[in-house]
């Protein structure tokens, strides 16, 4: 039971901190469209060129091959430096990439992995459908096999960055008449293929990276199937726990900074009595103090989770506990920000701009929905952590 | 960095669990209702014999040469078993005696031959390094030679006989004897010049008991949700129950992780020790109170009976909340402290 870091780890932290300070993007992130693509890829490329891309990726795939503790340190420093989140590179780095590593052919790996790492391409996820949200196995996008191609017809939805992505990890039903987990294939889809139509969906926080994607007889080479045809469910499940690994650590550290910024704001903003600073208000002061304690407990939970993974060798379902709590805490902090700001909170400021509280408040609603709703997380905790009957 | 207990530390916790289930079970707690003393001398001696009163003390005074992390796990188990007895005051008194240079007393405390009652000042009471004045709540004083008062500014032992007559009153917790005493200038027997380290140790050990309660409540609920059949199936298949259990798991895991973080931070003497310890207490109390309440609900009618253990968890959590600091004390401190490193 110790929270000390070795001399080597402290040195690593120093190295990360210095590099991030010297190489961080100079401009603030643009808010939407192709400019975000250029911005995110340029930042990824900068990291790649200095050997920092894919800290959690094994060396054999060109990654940093950092230990879990080093990954933790990297993400802590990344969050502490208040750098832009990886956003459009997230799916490639933390979902599609690891899936390819686990299940793709040598040829597929050799073609795609270096591009993801080097910041050449953006990946998006084509999983959810209008009729298949939390119940992913209800998906019905059809993939008919025609010679050496799959012809895809159907619709996907809630696809972040479909409008700027090059590639998509796409789940389609390739076995006619199959249902549920059988007969699905995991396919690499070129987003420039004829027959794909992308319609952005505006979200309540003003974001425009959310999309629905329509497929009208889109022809994808059969060679783009990862794993076996009709066995894609298994491929999709292989990396779910990877997503719950260290990748969210940066966001959690960033949340600690959000709370500290809020404490600072409460020292200057006039409070509910119209006279004293907000922090002098008992209720606001207590909620801020509680938020500080809660952020600390989330960090402790992240540490515990990483240490558990170190011992068992693979991330367990306990990651759902962190994810569930992280979502709730962001929303509580966002509400607290609105309470502190009062009238000023009613001015809309995009979450991509500095000192945006209203944008953050509106954005936070997505956090208990994306990446598996809080209800699904509670099911996972009940079934897989606690062993309750289904 | 490894936040989780080592194999050796887990072994210590397991040994404590074994002894507590044997000597200080809730059945034994109930059997002593009406006795002045919540723990029999034999059971207390058994705990001392196993080294539970001096895990963190050096072997020179009969301790086990372990540290705060091991004590933390022990107190987590004490909480989990809602074990009765003046463990907290006695263990803290051992550290106080050692730090104040009274090795003989530390040795007698380690051996279980001296018990220490717990004092909580009521509003208006005053404690200095020299005297106690005013009204105090007294806990578990039967057979005690000393009483402990511990706060952020003060860590003292007084002789129990110096306090004056104690008026016992009924307790919400059948495992904690409670009374009141009006003290008129009782002299302090032993005081620490700098109480801060002992105070943080106390906060961590109280938090540990609260975490034990949160874990016990979670486990009781999960067990019941698996076994209790209604509408032809275990109630745990229903999301109304399953999600309640999941929330209990979140609360317990969060409190447990923060507890381990605080114990490690305080043991290493890091600058954010106070922040982490106070955060641990706040989070642990919220988890204990919430989980204890939820387990009553999950158990339905049975949960509300005196015979079932759930109410012991509820009641002990309230005692612990009113021990060494309250939630509002901790929140007031947390907003003023520097952000953790």
Tell me how far apart the alpha carbons of residues A146 and A152 are, in angstroms, rounded to a whole number. 10
Q: Identify the pLDDT of residue A208.
A: 79
Q: Which CATH number belongs to the domain containing residue B300 in this structure?
A: 1.20.140.10
Do B272 and B146 share a structural domain? no
Mean pLDDT in residue range B74-83: 98
pLDDT > 70: percent of chain B: 100
Q: Which of B137, B33, B49 is nearest to B41 (CA)?
A: B49
Residue A197 DSSP label: E
Residues paired with residue B119 on neighbouring β-strands, in sequence order: B138
Residues paired with residue A314 on neighbouring β-strands, in sequence order: none
Strands B144-150 and B115-121, by their bridges, are: parallel
Q: Is a pLDDT exceeding 60 seen at residue A243?
A: no
Q: For residue A68, what are its two tokens?
A: 């879990």
Mean pLDDT in residue range A131-152: 97
Q: For residue B30, what are its two tokens?
A: 């109930």
Cβ contact (<8 Å) for A4 and B250?
no
Length of chain A (residues): 390
Tell me how far apart the alpha carbons of residues B120 and B97 are, in angstroms, rounded to a whole number. 19
Name every chain A residue with its beta carbon within 8 A of the beta carbon of B332.
285-286, 289
Residue B114 lies in a domain: yes
Do B157 and B51 share a structural domain? yes
Q: Identify the pLDDT of residue B339.
A: 85
Structural contact between residues A36 and A164, judged by C-beta atoms closer than 8 angstroms: yes
ipTM tops 0.85: yes
Do B206 and B133 share a structural domain? no
| CB-closest option in B236, B243, B257 to A378 | B243
| CB-closest option in B1, B242, B331 to A378 | B242
| CB-closest option in A1, A296, A385 to B6 | A1
Do B296 and B230 share a structural domain? yes
Cβ contact (<8 Å) for B243 and A389?
no
Cβ contact (<8 Å) for A300 and B260?
yes
Question: A23 φ, ψ to 5°?
Answer: -115, 5
Length of chain B (residues): 341
Shortest Cα distance from A1 to chain B (angstroms)? 4
Tell me how far apart the alpha carbons of residues B296 and B276 are, in angstroms, rounded to a whole number. 30
Structural contact between residues A252 and A298, judged by C-beta atoms closer than 8 angstroms: yes
Q: For residue A367, what are its two tokens?
A: 């956090």
Cβ contact (<8 Å) for A321 and B268?
no
Q: How many domains does chain B have?
A: 2
Choice among A37-51, A313-327, B160-174 with the minimum mean pLDDT: A313-327
Name every chain B residue with its beta carbon within 8 A of the beta carbon of A3.
1, 3, 261, 264-265, 268, 270
Q: Identify the pLDDT of residue A239.
A: 72
Cβ contact (<8 Å) for A1 and B254?
no
**DSSP conformation letters of B115-132:** EEEEEEEPTT-EE-SSEE
> Whole domain around residue B149: which residue ranges?
7-194
Residue B4 DSSP label: S
Q: Which CATH number belongs to the domain containing residue B11 in this structure?
A: 1.10.540.10
Sign of the torsion angle spanned by Cα atoms A112, A114, A115, A117: positive
Shortest Cα distance from A73 to chain B (angstroms)? 11
Tell me how far apart the alpha carbons of residues B153 and B194 are, in angstroms, rounded to a whole number. 8
Q: Give the 3-state secondary structure of B181-248.
A: EEEEEEEEEEECCCCHHHHHHHHHHHHHHHHHHHHHHHHHHHHHHHHCEECCEEHHHCHHHHHHHHHH
Instruction: Report CA Rg, chain B.
Output: 20
Tell me how far apart the alpha carbons of residues A101 and A113 are, in angstroms, rounded to a whole number. 8
What count of other Cβ atoms lies within 10 Å of the Cβ of residue B95? Answer: 23
Q: Identify the pLDDT of residue A174.
A: 98
Cβ contact (<8 Å) for A289 and B335?
yes
Q: Rounded to whole angstroms, what are the CA distances from A156 to A43, A152, A195, A221?
A: 29, 11, 13, 19
Residue B20 lies in a domain: yes
Q: Identify the pLDDT of residue A241.
A: 58
Q: For residue A298, what are its two tokens?
A: 């989330």
Q: Identify the pLDDT of residue A198.
A: 97
Residue B324 lies in a domain: yes
| CB-closest option in B1, B5, B264 to A69 | B1
Buried b (16+ CB within 10 A) or exposed e, B15-32: ebbebbbebbbbebbeeb
Shortest Cα distance from B81 to chain A (angstroms)? 20
DSSP H or E stretch at residue A180 = none
Q: For residue B323, what are its two tokens?
A: 């021990």
Mean pLDDT in residue range B190-202: 97
Tell me how far apart the alpha carbons of residues B168 and A140 are, in angstroms, rounded to a whole number. 71
Residue B152 lies in a domain: yes
Q: Residue A37: how many CA atoms within 13 Å on its side-chain side?
A: 16
Shortest Cα distance from A79 to chain B (angstroms)? 13
Higher pLDDT, B205 or A85: B205
Strands A167-173 and A184-190, by their bridges, are: antiparallel
Q: Which of B194, B224, B239 is the last residue in one of the domains?
A: B194
Residue B2 lies in a domain: no
Mean pLDDT in residue range A170-182: 96
Do B223 and B77 share a structural domain? no
Structural contact between residues A220 and A229, judged by C-beta atoms closer than 8 angstroms: no
Do B244 and B222 share a structural domain? yes
Name every chain A residue with its beta carbon within 8 A of the beta carbon of B257.
297, 300-301, 303-304
What domains can you pick out in chain A, each with its CATH number?
Answer: 7-85 (1.10.540.10), 123-231 (2.40.110.10), 244-385 (1.20.140.10)
Residue B1 lies in a domain: no
Do B47 and B81 share a structural domain? yes
SS3 A213: strand
Q: Which of B245, B133, B259, B115 is nearest to B184 (CA)?
A: B133
Choice among A59-68, B151-160, B303-312 with the minimum mean pLDDT: A59-68
Q: Identify the pLDDT of residue A34.
A: 84
Cβ contact (<8 Å) for B283 and A69?
no
Q: For residue B130, what are its two tokens?
A: 């020299």
Residue B212 lies in a domain: yes
Tell me how far apart the alpha carbons of residues B58 and B61 are, in angstroms, rounded to a whole number. 6
Name every chain B residue with its beta carbon within 8 A of the beta carbon of A279.
335
Structural contact between residues A184 and A172, judged by C-beta atoms closer than 8 angstroms: yes
Q: Which of B172, B194, B216 is the last residue in one of the domains?
A: B194
Q: pLDDT confidence of A176, banded at 50, 70, 90? A: very high
Mean pLDDT in residue range A114-135: 96
Q: Identify the pLDDT of residue A184.
A: 98
Name every chain B residue with its beta carbon within 8 A of the beta carbon of A377.
246
Cβ contact (<8 Å) for B254 and A301?
yes
Structural contact between residues B200 and B274, judged by C-beta atoms closer than 8 angstroms: yes
| CB-closest option in A288, A297, A310 to B254 | A297
Cβ contact (<8 Å) for A294 and B234?
no
| CB-closest option in A1, A9, A387 to B4 | A1
**Global model pTM greater than 0.90:** yes
Cβ contact (<8 Å) for A304 and B275?
no
Do B164 and B32 share a structural domain? yes
Q: Which residue of B has its CA nearest to A73?
A: B1
Q: Which of B194, B227, B255 is the last residue in one of the domains?
A: B194
Structural contact between residues A1 and B263, judged by C-beta atoms closer than 8 angstroms: yes
Q: Which of A371, A109, A336 is nearest to A240 (CA)?
A: A371
| CB-closest option in B236, B275, B283 to A388 | B236
Do B151 and B285 share a structural domain? no
Q: Identify the pLDDT of residue B90.
A: 98
Q: pLDDT confidence of A87, banded at 50, 70, 90? A: confident
pLDDT tens track for A301-335:
999 999 999 998 888 888 899 999 999 999 999 99
Q: Identify the pLDDT of residue A251.
A: 82
Q: Rounded to whole angstroms, what are the CA distances from B334 to A263, A288, B182, B259?
A: 11, 9, 32, 16
Strands A167-173 and A123-126, by their bridges, are: parallel
Shortest Cα distance from A290 to chain B (angstroms)? 6
Do B108 and B225 share a structural domain? no
Question: A299 φ, ψ to 5°?
Answer: -65, -45
Q: For residue A363, what are its two tokens?
A: 């954005």
Active-site residues of A: which are they? 243
Q: Identify the pLDDT of residue A242.
A: 56
Mean pLDDT in residue range B131-158: 98
pLDDT tens track for A187-222:
999 999 999 999 999 999 988 789 999 999 999 999
Q: For residue A98, what are its two tokens?
A: 């690891």
Choice among A236-245, A314-323, B307-316 with the minimum mean pLDDT: A236-245
Query: Which residue of A80, A279, A382 is the best one to mutate when testing the B interface, meaning the one whose CB has the most B CBs within 10 A?
Result: A382
Q: Which of B27, B82, B24 is nearest to B48 (CA)?
A: B24
Residue B341 lies in a domain: no
Q: Please enumerate in sequence order all residues whose Cβ is within 8 A of that of B228, keeping only pairs 6 or more positions apart, or say none.
A: B234, B235, B236
Cβ contact (<8 Å) for B1 and A381?
no
Unique residue bearing structure tokens 């120093």:
A14
Quick one: angle between helices B196-227 and B68-80, nearest 10? 40
Q: Identify the pLDDT of residue A206.
A: 86
Residues paired with residue B184 on neighbouring β-strands, in sequence order: B133
Shortest Cα distance from A297 to chain B (angstroms)? 5
Rounded (to 5) percent helix, strand, coil in chain B: 55, 15, 30
Do B110 and B127 share a structural domain? yes
Mean pLDDT in residue range B173-182: 98
Q: Please enumerate in sequence order all residues whose Cβ is within 8 A of that of B258, keeping only pairs 6 or more positions apart, or say none.
A: A293, A296, A297, A300, A301, B207, B276, B279, B280, B283, B284
Do B294 and B251 share a structural domain? yes
Shortest Cα distance from A24 to chain B (angstroms)? 22
Structural contact between residues B247 and B222, judged by C-beta atoms closer than 8 angstroms: no
Structural contact between residues B143 and B48, judged by C-beta atoms closer than 8 angstroms: no
Cβ contact (<8 Å) for B245 and A304?
no
Query: Which residue of A72, A260, A286, A296 is the best one to mutate when testing the B interface, meaning the one whose CB has the most B CBs within 10 A?
Result: A296
Mean pLDDT of chain A: 93
């Amino acid at each position: 039971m110790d929270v000390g870091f070795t001399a080597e780890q402290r040195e690593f932290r120093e190295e990360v901190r210095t590099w991030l300070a010297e190489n961080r993007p100079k401009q603030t992130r643009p808010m939407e469209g192709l400019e975000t693509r250029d911005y995110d890829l340029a930042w990824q490329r900068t990291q790649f060129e200095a050997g920092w891309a894919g800290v959690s990726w094994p060396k054999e795939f060109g990654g940093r091959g950092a230990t879990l503790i080093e990954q933790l340190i990297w993400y802590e420093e990344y969050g502490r430096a208040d750098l832009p989140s990886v956003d459009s590179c997230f799916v490639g780095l933390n979902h599609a990439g690891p899936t390819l590593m686990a299940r793709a052919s040598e040829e597929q790996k050799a073609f795609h992995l270096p591009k993801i790492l080097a910041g050449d391409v953006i990946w998006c996820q084509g999983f959810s459908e209008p009729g298949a949200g939390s119940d992913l196995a209800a998906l019905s996008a059809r993939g008919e096999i025609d010679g050496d191609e799959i012809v895809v017809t159907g619709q996907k939805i809630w696809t972040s960055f479909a409008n700027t992505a090059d590639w998509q990890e796409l789940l389609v039903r390739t076995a006619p008449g199959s249902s549920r987990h059988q007969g699905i294939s995991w396919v690499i889809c070129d987003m420039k293929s004829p027959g794909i139509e992308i319609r952005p969906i505006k979200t309540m926080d003003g974001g425009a990276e959310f999309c629905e994607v329509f497929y009208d007889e889109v022809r994808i080479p059969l060679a783009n199937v990862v794993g076996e045809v009709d066995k894609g469910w298994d491929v999709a499940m292989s990396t779910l726990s990877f997503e719950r690994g260290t990748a969210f650590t940066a966001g959690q550290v960033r949340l600690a900074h959000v709370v500290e910024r809020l404490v600072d704001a409460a020292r200057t903003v006039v409070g509910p009595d119209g006279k004293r600073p907000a922090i002098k208000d008992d209720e606001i002061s207590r909620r801020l103090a509680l938020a500080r304690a809660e952020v600390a407990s989330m960090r402790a939970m992240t540490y515990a989770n990483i240490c558990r993974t170190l011992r068992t060798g693979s991330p367990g379902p306990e990651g759902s506990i962190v994810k569930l709590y992280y979502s709730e805490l962001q929303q509580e902090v966002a509400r607290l920000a609105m309470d502190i700001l009062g009238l000023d909170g009613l001015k809309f400021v995009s979450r991509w701009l500095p000192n945006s509280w209203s944008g953050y408040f509106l954005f936070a609603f997505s956090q208990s929905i994306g990446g598996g709703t809080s209800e699904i997380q509670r099911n996972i905790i009940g079934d897989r952590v606690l062993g309750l009957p289904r | 960095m490894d936040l989780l207990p080592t194999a050796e530390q887990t072994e210590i916790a397991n040994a404590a669990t074994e002894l507590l289930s044997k000597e200080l079970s809730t059945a034994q707690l109930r059997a002593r209702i009406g006795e002045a003393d919540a723990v029999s001398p034999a059971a207390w001696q058994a705990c001392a014999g196993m080294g539970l009163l001096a895990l963190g003390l050096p072997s020179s005074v009969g301790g086990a040469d372990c540290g705060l992390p091991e004590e933390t796990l022990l107190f987590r188990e004490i909480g989990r078993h809602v074990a009765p007895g003046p463990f907290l005051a006695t263990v803290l008194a051992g550290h106080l005696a050692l730090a104040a240079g009274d090795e003989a007393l530390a040795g007698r405390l380690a051996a279980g031959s001296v018990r220490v009652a717990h004092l909580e000042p009521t509003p208006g009471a005053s404690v200095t390094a020299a005297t106690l004045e005013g009204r105090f709540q007294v806990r578990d004083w039967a057979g005690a030679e000393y009483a402990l008062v511990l706060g952020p500014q003060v860590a003292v032992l007084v002789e129990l006989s110096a306090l004056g007559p104690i008026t016992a009153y009924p307790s919400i917790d059948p495992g904690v004897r409670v009374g009141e005493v009006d003290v008129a200038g009782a002299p302090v027997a032993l005081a620490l010049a700098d109480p801060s380290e002992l105070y943080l140790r106390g906060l961590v050990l109280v938090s540990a008991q609260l975490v034990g309660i949160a874990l016990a409540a979670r486990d009781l609920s999960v067990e019941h949700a698996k076994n209790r059949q209604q509408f032809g199936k275990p109630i745990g298949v229903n999301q109304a129950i399953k999600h309640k259990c999941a929330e209990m798991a979140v609360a317990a895991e969060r409190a447990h992780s923060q507890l381990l973080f605080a114990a490690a931070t305080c043991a290493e003497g890091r600058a954010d020790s106070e922040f982490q310890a106070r955060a641990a207490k706040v989070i642990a109390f919220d988890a204990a109170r919430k989980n204890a309440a939820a387990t009553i609900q999950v158990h339905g009618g049975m949960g509300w009976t005196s015979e079932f253990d759930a109410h012991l968890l509820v009641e002990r959590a309230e005692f612990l909340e009113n021990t060494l600091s309250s939630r509002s004390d901790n929140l007031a401190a947390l907003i003023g402290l520097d952000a953790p490193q």
